[in-house]
Amino acid sequence: MPENNGERELRPDETMIPKGLPGGFFIYNAGEKEELCFADENVIRLFGCSSMEEFREYTNNSFLGMVYPEDLEKVEGDIQKQTMFGEKRHDYVRYRIQAKTGEIRYIEDFGHLLHGENGRSYFYVYIVDVDKDEYYNRNKNSFAEAQILSLNSEMDILTGLFNMPRFYECVQEELANGENGQQKNTIVYMDISDFKLFNERFGFQKGDELLYKVARKLWQNFGEHIIARFSDDHFVVFTHDENVPEKIEDIQNAVSGMVEGTKVTLKAGIYYMKKEHCDVGLACDHARLACNDSKQRYDINYSIYNDELTERLKRRQYIVHHIDEAVEKEYIKVFYQPVIRVKTGELCGYEALARWKDPDVGMLSPADFIETLEQSHLIHKLDSFIIKKVCEDYKRLKEAGEALVPVSINLSRLDFDLCDIGRIIDDYREEYGVPKNMLDIEITESALNDDSEGMRKEIKRLNDSGHQIWIDDFGSGYSSLNVLVEYVFDVLKLDMQFLRTYDHNENMGKLLAQIVAVTNKLGKLALQEGVETKEHYEFLKSIGCEKCQGYYFGKPQPMEETRETTRSKGIVWEKVGA
């Protein structure tokens, strides 16, 4: 006979228990193995067994062995949702069993979770063998289920966690508790990154399973605190725990491997509540803002709310809401930075850069508005506007008889998804009479590493038609030598960090020399950005670098100002066939 952990088996007077009924009563341990403690004769007979010993052997002495295998995961989840995650201790579930004879039977299960003085917990369960049609007809026998659900109206049906109203109520009660003032109160707001895409790829059933698994992990880590699922993939925790970041990391590590074939990412925002501030809704909003901030970065799993975060988020909202106005009223300006031919010292091109001078908030940092527009999938509006203004400036300079050199424009990876960027370039170029060789295209290396076949084809088309393609930011953290042989390009633009490191590490000079040599051997041109001193310039000469740019020659300025700066430095324009 299997062990029952020293429990004394209870055998009531069998003459007092009615026999031959289509239902019965059993008890099992609520621990991990869910060992059986007792089953009456009616339950034993339902399974086609003649004794408790035979029943124990057939079910492996566990509730887990009683439930039909295909139903087990759902049943276990439903029981836990109704008894362990919430405050209630009773459950109602339906499942199939398979008798020893092979017959499939259909069961209604009414259970209650009880806690013993010895610290152990047990499920006391009454089950009924129901007709198959009745089992599948959820409406015909829904009274008991309706009673259970009405008692659990404060819970999220899918996960068994609190819903948002009950969460607010419980947290407010906790904050009103006089003893709470001595504790550290924290709100944690969590989202599953790209959960909508997960549902599209794996289906809603898998999505629901993932949500339930995440809820279980939250319960394991914060079971003594208040946990809720607000909606969709949004989970919120109120806790006094002093080690919240560590627990979040533990949860995220577990969640990442929950689904075979993909990595699941859980992002979190933490808000440490101020003692004088007890508005639960606002506290949750702060934690949500911090969570949204963490979702903008791939190198962090959580963000902690602070006042600076609020200001940053306000700037992002302002940018999103005012980009159309900034384009229409031309608050966005094109600044040009000179590109120099290293060997001759002549100006051989410009890089076009966007600057946003807003009448209400002043100068907005490119680091803010470019990143925000990419995240909001609005970057194509900025890039299309810059292309137009560059072409306008070219036409104006040509009509004024000024020296002309190619201008490079920066394109985002998203431009190729959000609009027909190749057609936009062609249309503006034709409208303002700009030759293809006077408009170069810069693409960041990280964008090329994105396996977008459409983008690759468009880049190749632009290159084949006469535009030079520049790979920007090589060496900025994404670099792979494969890019030098796998992609169509003409100019390899080396990140400014190379020269900054060279200033204090001579080995960087040796590395730069090798990169330039390989680029030259491949028939491409190397361009080093971030040139700030004469020493930098002379070094680039010595290693055969073709082009360079940096503050040593001129900072980004409007076209008229940068041309004046160039003249004042005695730099001349390279003659280019236009």
Q: Is the per-residue pLDDT at 202 higher than 90?
A: no
What pLDDT, on the 0 to 100 scale, is given for residue 59? 96
CA 492, CA 573: separation in Å to the nearest integer?
A: 22
From 220-224, 360-364, 437-441, the region with the lowest mean pLDDT: 220-224
Q: Which two tokens stand for residue 523?
A: 């028939």
Q: Are residues 348 and 391 in the same domain?
A: yes
261: left (phi over 0), alpha (psi -120 to 50) or beta: left
Is residue 316 assigned to a domain? Answer: no
Which residue type is seen at 447? A
What pLDDT, on the 0 to 100 scale, is given for residue 452? 58
Q: How far is CA 477 from CA 65, 336, 445, 473, 549, in A?
A: 53, 26, 10, 9, 20
Q: How far is CA 40 from CA 23, 49, 124, in A?
A: 10, 12, 12
Q: Are residues 431 and 562 in the same domain?
A: yes
Strands 525-529 and 547-549: parallel
CA 412, CA 370: separation in Å to the nearest integer?
A: 10
Is residue 575 assigned to a domain? Answer: no
Q: Are residues 444 and 531 in the same domain?
A: yes
Phi, psi of 419 (to 5 degrees): -160, 175
48: left (phi over 0), alpha (psi -120 to 50) or beta: left
What pLDDT, on the 0 to 100 scale, is given for residue 161? 84
Mean pLDDT score of the chain, rounded to an integer?
86
Q: Are residues 386 and 534 in the same domain?
A: yes
Q: pLDDT band for position 338 (50/70/90)?
A: very high
From 135-139, 220-224, 348-352, the region with the lowest mean pLDDT: 135-139
Is residue 54 assigned to a domain? Answer: yes
Domain end position, chosen among 103, 125, 151: 151
Is residue 314 assigned to a domain? Answer: no
CATH number of the domain to which 75 belongs: 3.30.450.20
Q: Are residues 142 and 174 in the same domain?
A: no
CA 512, CA 318: separation in Å to the nearest integer?
A: 41
From 101-110, 485-494, 529-538, the region with the lowest mean pLDDT: 485-494
Q: Are residues 354 and 262 in the same domain?
A: no
Q: Are residues 290 and 423 in the same domain?
A: no
Spatial strand order of the sheet with 226-231 comes to 226-231, 234-239, 186-192, 266-272, 302-304
What pLDDT, on the 0 to 100 scale, is given for residue 6? 47
Q: pLDDT band for position 476 (50/70/90)?
A: low
What pLDDT, on the 0 to 100 scale, is given for residue 1? 43
Q: pLDDT band for position 294 (50/70/90)?
A: confident
Q: Are 237 and 187 in contact (CB under 8 A)?
A: yes
Q: Tell me the mean pLDDT in the region 383-394.
A: 97
CATH number of the domain to which 490 belongs: 3.20.20.450
Domain end position, chosen among 286, 305, 324: 305
Q: Tell me the mean pLDDT in the region 400-428.
A: 93
Q: Are residues 269 and 354 in the same domain?
A: no
What pLDDT, on the 0 to 100 scale, is given for residue 346? 96
Q: Are residues 136 and 260 in the same domain?
A: no
Q: pLDDT band for position 2 (50/70/90)?
A: very low
Q: How far is CA 489 from CA 158, 341, 523, in A?
A: 52, 18, 10
CATH number of the domain to which 262 belongs: 3.30.70.270
What pLDDT, on the 0 to 100 scale, is given for residue 110? 92
Q: Are 421 and 411 in contact (CB under 8 A)?
A: yes
Q: pLDDT band for position 309 (50/70/90)?
A: confident
What pLDDT, on the 0 to 100 scale, is given for residue 55? 96
Q: Are residues 146 and 168 in the same domain?
A: no
Is residue 483 assigned to a domain? Answer: yes
Q: Are residues 229 and 192 in the same domain?
A: yes
| 72: nearest Cα among 112, 118, 109 | 109
**Domain extent at residue 339:** 332-568
Is residue 72 assigned to a domain? Answer: yes
Which stretches within 243-365 are classed as H helix?
244-256, 280-294, 307-328
Q: pLDDT band for position 135 (50/70/90)?
A: low
Domain end position, chosen among 116, 151, 186: 151
For the chain, the domain total comes to 3
Inter-axis angle of helices 195-202 and 204-222, nearest 10: 130
Q: Are residues 433 and 512 in the same domain?
A: yes
Is residue 573 assigned to a domain? Answer: no
The residues near 386 (Cβ < 8 Å, ≥ 6 apart) are 332, 334, 352, 354, 409, 410
Q: Are 469 and 462 in contact (CB under 8 A)?
A: yes
What pLDDT, on the 0 to 100 scale, is given for residue 11? 54
Q: Tell me the mean pLDDT in the region 179-194.
A: 83
Rg, the chain, Cα only: 34
The residues near 66 (Cβ < 8 Å, ≥ 6 apart) are 47, 59, 97
Is residue 110 assigned to a domain? Answer: yes
Give 33-92 pLDDT, tens digit per residue.
Answer: 899 999 999 999 999 999 999 999 999 999 999 999 998 888 887 787 777 654 457 788
